[in-house]
Every structure is written in C-alpha cells, then in structure tokens.
Structure 1
Amino acid sequence: MTDSFDGPPLTPPPERASFPDGLRFAFGTLTVLPARITRWDRPAARTGMACAPLAGLVVGVLAAVPGVLLLVLGGGPLLAAAVTVAVPAALTRGLHLDGLADTADGLGSAKPADEALRIMKQSDIGPFGVVTLVIAMLVQVAALSDVYADSWIRGALAAVVAAVTARLAMTLACREGVPAARPGGLGGLGAAVAGVVPRAVAAAIAVLVVAAAAAAALPMGLPAAGRQAAAVLVALLAAQLLLRRCVRRFDGVTGDVFGALAEVAATTALIVLALG
C-alpha cells in the first residue's frame, strides 16, 4: 500500500507552536476525529507528537466504551474484544495497520533500502504484510478477550493503556537523532516529524505515561499497578527494537514505520496485560 501519511510541504517558522496547535496536529494526523490542523511545520510537529499519547487516550476510551457496553448487555468477552480492537482501526482509517503491513513487506523483501521503500509505497499488500496483519489482529483480540473475561474494568483499562502506549511509541520514535528515510517534501508524515521531539521531553513523557498507567490500576492493588507499568515498558522495548531495525534497514523512519511501531506496541502491551 502507499504511504498514506503524506501532507503539505513544511514551512518552518522560528516561533514555537502553541499547545492547541499541537493538539490539532496530533488529532488531525493520528485520528479521524474532527481537528482542523492550523499549522503544518516543525514547531507544530514537535508539540503535536509530544501530545500523541493524549490522542491515544481519547482513542482508547472510545474503544473501551462499546466493549464494556457489549459485556453489560450480555455479550461475551470475545465479541467485546473484537469490537474494541476494531474501533482504533476505524478511528485511524486503518493507517496504522496499513503501515504495519507495508513495513513487514519492506523488511521481508531483502532488497536494498531504496527498493524496499519503493515496495512499501506500492498499492498492494505482499505475503509478509498479509501474514503480519492477520497475526497481529488475532493476538490483539485473543489477549484482550482474556482480559475482558477476567474483568470489564481490566479490559477497559487494557484498551486505554494499549492505545496510549501505541502513540507514546510514536513520540519516542520522533526524538532527536532519528532520521527520516525520505527527507524533504515527499517524505510525508515521516519526514515532517522525524527528530522533532527533544530527547529529554520524550523521556519525561514516557515516565509520565508509565506512572499514569500504574496509578490507574492502583485501586485494584499493587500487582495490577505493576503489571500495567510493565506492559507499557515492555511494549516500548518491543517498539524500540523494531525502530532500530527499521532505521538500519531503511536508513530512517517513514509514516509506515510509525504505524508499525504503534501496532507492535499496542499488541505487546495487550499480551503482557493478558498474562496477569
């Protein structure tokens, strides 16, 4: 499939972007929720990608609501999990799943970087992409079904934590020093946000998310809080390993890579939460 994260050329003004500008950038690029992007430049991208976990929080809550309602109305945990997993896909127009499939095709092609990037831009999905998509979706539904079967509260929290962690993985991938594979005006979102978030800011946001995930589960006891913190940390580790592989393989990141990082982080977080 093509890299669907294309945007207008960057025009980098020297001033900083406001928090509302950043929120609009985050919601306008990472979700289909109504958010008119008022600035498309490096300062807005910096603030926007720092706000990415907030977009994940909204997506996670919207995903958890129908799952919990189905359980309350008598539906089973498998049905609730399937619907919960479907909501983030709908709220992102499937772009993150598209990125996962394209990245899998690029990594599996064994071609030089330029040819692998060309494969990722094609409109079809190769065998690596198809298999990766099927496995990822099955694992997400299975893991979340196990959590819902234990408790609707745990299931709802898992949906939110997975969505927030997915966007946090994007924030960390935007940190300084991570290059774009397609720099310039044709690089889409990957070129727009690569290297925009200061390392200290990215680290601080990660600490806040881990602490918030643990705090949200504290009413269920210290083991539950520790499990949620561990889910975020292990998911970020998995995403970081994929990021390193992609940077070495493609000489940088693309919009597809960001989508893949989000899906890998969400899947890993759900697996860890299901083990409890």
Structure 2
Amino acid sequence: MSWLRRQAQLLVCAVQFLTRVPTPALNGFQPDWITRSARYFPLVGQGVGALSAVVFFAAYQVWSPTLAALLAIGVGLIVTGAFHEDGLADTADGLGGGQTTERRLEIMKDSRVGTYGVCALVLALALKVGALSSLSAQAGVLTLIAAYGAGRAAALVAMRLTPYAPAGEAGKWKPTPQGVRTTEVVAGLLIAAWPLVLLSPSAVLVGVAVGGLAGLAMAKTAQRLIGGHTGDVLGAIEQVFEVGFMLGVAALA
C-alpha cells in the first residue's frame, strides 16, 4: 500500500470516528486504525470549525453576534453528533458523582446524563457562545477553526502523556497496546498550529495558556480519581481546551 493511500485511509477513519459526515467505506478495517488516525484529529476538527465558521460569518451579516454564535456552535454539534460534548457530560457525572474509581467509571459508562453532566454542558456551551459573540466576524471565523483544531490536539497530547484508566474498556476509544506514537502527536500538533498564525500572537498566547491550563486540570483530575484517561475524559479535555482557548482570545478582543 502506498504511503499516500495509507494516509488517505487514516484521514477517512478519523472523519468517520469524530463526525457524522458520510465517507467512503474502509475495506479491511483494522482495530488499530483509529489510534493510527489520531494524527488527523486536529485536521478533522479544523474542518468542523470551518463549517461552523461559514455559518457564523453568514449569520453575522444578518442577525446579532449572539445568534450567529449560537448557530455556529449548533452546526458543530450536528456535524459531530455532540461527540466530545457527550464525553464532557459523562466525565462530569462520573468524576463528580462517584466515590470510588470503580463507581466513577460505572457512572461514566451509563448513557443517562445526570446533574453534573447537564451543568457542565450548559456552562461549556454558554461560555463558547458568549466568547464567540464578543468577537468580530473575521476574528470569530479564525477562532472557530483554531479552537476546534487545537482542542483535538490537546486530546491527542493527553492520549500520549497520560495512562489509560483501568477498566475503561467501554469508553469511546480504547488504545492499541502500542498507543499513540510521539511522531503522530508531533504531526497532529503541526496540523493544529497553522490557523494560529492567522490570529494575533497575544491572543494565541493567552488562548493556548488558558486552554492548556483547563485541559491540564481536567487530565490531572481524571488521573487522580480514575487512574488516567478514557474516551470520555479525552472528550472532556477537548471541550475544556476549546472553552479556555475561546475565552483567552475573547479577553483580548
């Protein structure tokens, strides 16, 4: 198999895993393809961000910035099937409601959403809308693309640097024994970096700092309470990084 064909397969796999976008069938699918495709998670995020950005820019010309932000965030939810948001809700319920590692993981596997999950979702979505609506049309477009890509990159880093939680097999993602490679993380970070050059350096610095601290806090909390990450925790890390990044950029708007 040629290198280009292999990369195309991995990109399609990443799109299938992270979104509801129709894609060609992958013949000969192997269980480790999701892990190997992780390098393209930021690129898929940027694609989702670009779709949301188009809606934001168009709606901004017709309605208020707040309504434009609501529509843009809503499109992202539709395209991804609220994939990462579901992880945030499950993680909030599990880490907030359980008293032992086993109970926390059991709660996270439950498809029902509890009080902690609802509050986390409402707060995250409200903060995104509030931050986005405070930006100009152009800044909002760039922020959506950058935040959605960088958030997936943050989850990719967590996949590499934190252990997989014990008994977390029922999560959205289970690593192969080899796990995500350093070269794959570097590739993902390089992909995530290109939109950042279009924003002001100060906005990028503050956005990455706030998002990074939020993601680090989530990763450390999960490691302390359940021993590492699960697929749900990775979704939560992606979401809190997105929120933090948007808030950081908005602080300098």
Task: List gaps (5 residues or longer) in structure 1.
Answer: 1-16, 218-223
**TM-score, normalized by length of structure 2?**
0.88
Whether contact under 8 Å (1:165, 1:236) holds in the other structure is: no
Distance 1:193 1:257, change over 3 A: farther
Check if 1:231 corresponds to 2:231. no
RMSD: 2.2
What residue number does 1:215 align with?
197
Whether contact under 8 Å (2:73, 2:129) holds in the other structure is: yes
- Give the 5 Å matches for 1:244-259: 244-259=220-235
How many residues are treated as equivalent by the alignment?
246
Q: Distance in 2 between the 1:208 and 1:27 partners?
A: 15
Check if 1:191 corresponds to 2:174. yes
Cα deviation, residue 214, structure 1: 3.3
Determine which of 47, 50, 55 is the counterpart of 1:66. 55
Whether contact under 8 Å (1:95, 1:259) holds in the other structure is: yes
Aligned residue identity for 1:86: G
Cα deviation, residue 229, structure 1: 4.3
Distance 1:209 1:216, change over 3 A: same
Deviation sequence 1:202-224 (CA, Å, 0-9, x none): 245325533x233223xxxxxx1
Cα deviation, residue 123, structure 1: 2.6
What residue number does 1:31 align with?
19
Q: Distance in 2 between the 1:89 and 1:181 partners?
A: 29
Q: Distance in 2 between the 1:85 and 1:259 partners?
A: 16
What residue number does 2:156 align with?
171
Percent identical: 29
Task: List gaps (5 residues or longer) in structure 2.
Answer: none
What residue number does 1:134 align with?
122
Q: Distance in 2 between the 1:188 and 1:110 partners?
A: 17
Deviation sequence 1:180-230 (CA, Å, 0-9, x none): 4436xx4343313686222354245325533x233223xxxxxx1331244
Q: Distance in 1 between the 2:26 and 2:243 partners?
A: 29
Q: Distance in 1 between the 2:77 and 2:49 partners?
A: 11
Determine which of 202, 218, 221 is the counterpart of 2:185. 202
Determine which of 109, 119, 124 is the counterpart of 1:121. 109
Distance 1:208 1:229, change over 3 A: farther
Deviation sequence 1:67-117 (CA, Å, 0-9, x none): 111122x21100001111111111111221111111001111242111111
Q: Distance in 2 between the 1:194 and 1:92 partners?
A: 27
Cα deviation, residue 23, structure 1: 0.6
**TM-score, normalized by length of structure 1?**
0.81
What residue number does 1:157 align with?
142
Report the 3-state secondary structure (helix = DSSP H, G, I; strand = E; otherwise coil) of the residue aligned with 2:173.
helix
Divergent runs of 4+, >6 A: none
